[in-house]
A and B are shown apart, each in its own frame.
Chain A
């Protein structure tokens, strides 16, 4: 073996994309710093404002208390919001499953797949809140518009997610069943669905989380009721930060429980 003649690393050749990326990061950093100095604060004393913010946050998180609703009313409200999230996820999942079968390229004809994928791309491009407002035109602002709008966007989202899960199914096992004389429904029921099941479950849970938080926002924004509406009343109408805190904790506890269930379900699915 000959000893190395050069001890230093050769220079890395100039890479335009990396250089551009660095330039953009530095530029954004400089702009952010400039933004702080140029901030128009009006008559607000920034030091006072920060301490008040800390004060309010402390009240919100450390001194939660109910005032205008009882515990049972809180639970009912939470139930309404969960219900809204759950219902729209179930509707979205059923529609999503059906149309995903029509758009997964390994089991659907290309023309149908392109048609469905194009349509769902448009549905997803419009945010959930806008769908709710669109349906509010005919259904009026309220729970009906919220259910319709959220279902629409959930379906669009789940069609894409499910279809991609279907497309990941091993082409060989589909071929094996076709070779044995299985028809299209057999392949869907016996290969595609069981193989994609863990992915379907995790996508559905993820969408339920999204729908739950959207349902909170819709409670206030679209008057769909539930804990979102109660929060809106507590903050905007009664100006009661402590009650806001109680609602926040109720939502947080439910989110944590849901997360635990999702994790358990997923580990069970992958380990079976």
Chain B
């Protein structure tokens, strides 16, 4: 059974055009999949349809065999805690400490009362500390997140997602706001959790070279449709041009500079 199965998903925000227009694919356990495409292709919408931050207009999405589009509110909470998510802008609470932000990943398991007042068990705090050590932030656990660099913030985001004990990890442009160095650390961390913990990773990436380097499989999206789905080795220049359309020229230039 695939970890994630998306079938004929359409999403419209009203009006006649579709942000997603009949998207279908299946992802097996342990895969590292990159979704690439130009800005506005529907990559972010697609990712958010998987954990129903955005409701689909039609079609089905199932995670571990559960139909996300039909699940009840309490069922949705249970489903969401098995799906970790990290974001381009990290989406941490900057005024809280690093460890408090990591513990937010446990909220899906907490009652309203204990979660609201941040009453976490010793075991949960120890687990948060271990994860922070694993992502190399053991020195910063009591620092406010607002004081961290972008790369550090994204690693806090990863720890927050991992403490959920997810089977699937959604990454929405995880390195788009990072410098090349920090981006490499973040991508290496994602590869590590994919290989060592067996967590399936689905990442929206704007950078083709990162997708090529890290992903087992690449899904190219353009104007809400899947236009490519295959291993990085099949991603030829023509196909990149097909995926990115008019943006391709700029992209090639950037890629050229990177490899030069």
Contacts and interface: CB of A to CB of B under 8 A. Distances in A.
Contacts of A272: 95, 144
Contacts of A189: 115-118
Contact of A179 (B53, B90, B100): B53
Contact of A180 (B92, B93, B100, B164): B164
Contacts of A186: 107, 110, 112, 115-116
B80 to A, nearest CB: 4
A194 interface: yes
Contacts of A195: 93-95
Interface stretch (B11-19, B81-89, B192-200, B218-226): B81-89
A193 to B, nearest CB: 9
Interface in B89-115: 89-96, 100, 104-105, 107-110, 112-113, 115
A171 B90 CA distance: 12
A235 to B, nearest CB: 48
Contacts of B78: 181
Contacts of B161: 180
Nearest to B76: A181
A86 to B, nearest CB: 26
A189 B160 CA distance: 17
Given A186-B110, A190-B107, A195-B95, A175 B53 contact: yes
Contact of A185 (B77, B79, B104, B116): B116
Interface string B139-173: 00000100000000000010011001000001000
A188 B107 CA distance: 12
B69 interface: no
B154 to A, nearest CB: 12
A177 B107 contact: yes
Contacts of B51: 179
Nearest to A177: B104
Contacts of A170: 91, 94
A183 B114 CA distance: 12
Given A172-B87, A173-B93, A190-B107, A178 B53 contact: yes
A180 B144 contact: no
A97 to B, nearest CB: 13
Interface in A184-221: 185-186, 188-191, 194-195, 197
Contacts of B83: 179
Contacts of A253: none
Contacts of B117: 189
A177 B101 CA distance: 10
A54 interface: no
A76 interface: no
A176 B92 contact: yes
B110 A194 contact: no
A182 interface: yes
Contacts of A182: 104, 107-108, 115
Contacts of A177: 104, 107
Interface centre among A172, A178, A185, A186 (most CB of B within 10 A): A186
Contacts of B109: 181
B91 to A, nearest CB: 4
A181 B53 contact: no
A186 B157 CA distance: 18
Contacts of A173: 91-94
A62 B58 CA distance: 80
B116 A176 contact: no
Given A180-B160, A183-B112, A194 B95 contact: yes
A185 B77 CA distance: 13
Interface centre among A170, A175, A181, A272 (most CB of B within 10 A): A181
B167 to A, nearest CB: 13
A180 B104 contact: yes
Contacts of B116: 185-186, 188-190
8 closest A-B pairs by CB: A181-B108, A189-B116, A172-B91, A176-B91, A181-B81, A182-B107, A181-B80, A186-B115
22 contacts: A172-B89, A173-B94, A175-B87, A176-B87, A176-B92, A178-B80, A179-B51, A179-B53, A179-B85, A180-B85, A181-B78, A181-B80, A182-B104, A182-B108, A185-B112, A186-B107, A186-B116, A190-B100, A190-B118, A194-B96, A195-B93, A195-B94
Given A176-B92, A180-B105, A185-B116, 4 more contacts: A180-B108, A181-B78, A189-B116, A190-B93
